[in-house]
Chains A and B, each alone.
Chain A
């Protein structure tokens, strides 16, 4: 595994008034790594991600994402990352093709590159027959895979995925993870949150947040050994219950 660091976080903190949502978190993510960012609802994951993708200014601490500073270079960060959340960013009443072209345009790709990229994505997802159909009519699983592909339309160095796989069937969920594996294999760094503990196992390393702090960080095997647990589910419950 290459050891170049693509996300570097040091004592990053976010306060809302008296409430500390993210409390001095510190970790590194390496290039091409699949990094699982876990935590209970309300543990501070979303706040942390928003700081990393340049949407929320930290109260304290430091972080560089794709080599750019989260205080001063948020626009640079946005150009170098992709983001997909459970609430899709796709336009339901635009077609598959139009959605890809739209995002290509937003990210400032030249017209030729957009056409090439659009064809590539449609081909890769096997959506040739549905390229002109509006996205609203696609099954959920297709939307998720398309949303992932669109998040990578500008060849970002890192893709952030916030609970990407909620509600889909086991086959679709696995197809989605195979896309993630493939991207990581091609050197894209994946930063992912999930409530599925078996998906946590697919990550190279994971961190678990509890009440704004990172309480555990390591490979799934390391964490299971450390907490004498058979499953990640068990590790998670032990930690979150304190």
Chain B
């Protein structure tokens, strides 16, 4: 009995001179909702394509549900669902036709596995005769998820399902994923949105083809051991420039309405406020703050 749904052993892949993925090792447990967090060009898609048997790695090997992604690719493809980053349904087929197509090629029917997609499909039902290319971004994404689920996969691979989707649809999407997880499906999902990391049980931060860190989102953020302040004033741009000139401020980055400033350990909020005051800032606020996943990512890069 294997406990890991996915085992990645020392996988590397290059395209000519460009290294996409370097020495990646990663295990994902059965039933886990696991997030691959990192920007475009980080190697996320290459990793997905290797795990779904669409690419052969240069070195290393990967096992999904006990099946080797190269040797056992035929069996593997029957038990996984894959939603690529680029919309890949048939634009000139209707919602219903797309779904029926995917059910048919996997030798099943919509009726048989309807229980898996019901929550999602009810939202699509009013548009079921609409051509797929006439759907809104959020609806396309829901249809793609239904199509990836219709053959009842054991492992689901979702490559940037929420990119370019608005905040509301993104939140709804994560609710759907958590329901699927409750049905026992292992889910590997990638996203460039750092704030979505907290939705996953564990995450891997990935950049330039390398895994920077693997842990639970809480452990990732609580592992940040530097002194961090959130600072704001009436003039954000001047604030950014001024903070960057302070010798004890090791790093200053805009974070929403605040600047996050990493400093030497002995610096106090009062001291920073005093300096900003002397530089003419008004409405100054300086407070210690805890790191987000994005702070950690910036620090590791």
> Is A197 close to B, CB under 8 A?
yes
Known pairs A171-B298, A181-B237; A40 contacts B169 (CB<8 A): yes
Known pairs A41-B137, A201-B257; A139 contacts B165 (CB<8 A): no
Task: Mark interface residues in B225-260 (1 if CB within 8 Å of A CB, else 0).
Answer: 000000000001100100000000000011111000
A233 to chain B, nearest CB (A): 6
Contact of A166 among B138, B164, B170, B171 (CB under 8 A): B164
Q: Which of B25-46 contact A (CB under 8 A)?
A: 38-42
- Of chain A, the residue at the smallest CB distance from B137 is A41
Q: Which of A54-62, A102-110, A126-134, A172-180 participates in binding chain B?
A: A172-180
> Is B122 close to A, CB under 8 A?
no
Inter-chain contact B39/A172, CB cutoff 8 Å: yes
Q: Give the size of the chain A interface in residues (CB under 8 angstroms).
A: 38
- Of chain B, the residue at the smallest CB distance from A140 is B40
Residues of A within 8 A of B163 (CB): 166-167
> Is A170 close to B, CB under 8 A?
yes
Q: Which of A4-12, A17-25, A67-75, A234-242 participates in binding chain B?
A: A234-242
Inter-chain contact A195/B165, CB cutoff 8 Å: yes
> Is B79 close to A, CB under 8 A?
no
Residues of B within 8 A of A172 (CB): 39
Q: How many interface contacts (CB-CB < 8 Å) are there between A and B?
A: 94
Inter-chain contact B256/A201, CB cutoff 8 Å: yes
A170 to chain B, nearest CB (A): 5
Known pairs A140-B40, A169-B42; A40 contacts B256 (CB<8 A): no
Residues of A within 8 A of B97 (CB): none
Known pairs A41-B138, A139-B41, A198-B256; A169 contacts B207 (CB<8 A): yes
> Is B297 close to A, CB under 8 A?
yes
> Is B8 close to A, CB under 8 A?
no
> Is A220 close to B, CB under 8 A?
yes
Contact of B254 among A168, A202, A220 (CB under 8 A): A202
Bound Cα distance A177, B256 (Å) = 11
Inter-chain contact A182/B237, CB cutoff 8 Å: yes
> Is A184 close to B, CB under 8 A?
yes
> Is A229 close to B, CB under 8 A?
no
Given contacts A167-B192, A198-B255, 12 further A-B contacts (CB under 8 A): A40-B138, A40-B167, A43-B166, A167-B163, A168-B192, A170-B194, A170-B301, A171-B298, A171-B301, A174-B253, A174-B254, A197-B256
- 15 A-B pairs (CB sep. < 8 Å): A39-B166, A40-B166, A40-B168, A41-B164, A42-B138, A139-B41, A140-B41, A168-B39, A169-B301, A170-B294, A171-B298, A178-B240, A181-B236, A198-B255, A237-B167
Closest 9 CB pairs of A and B: A169-B39, A201-B256, A167-B40, A40-B166, A41-B137, A198-B256, A181-B237, A201-B257, A240-B168
Interface positions of A (Cβ within 8 A of B): 39-43, 86, 139-140, 163, 166-172, 174, 177-178, 181-182, 184-185, 195-198, 201-202, 220-221, 231-233, 236-237, 240-241
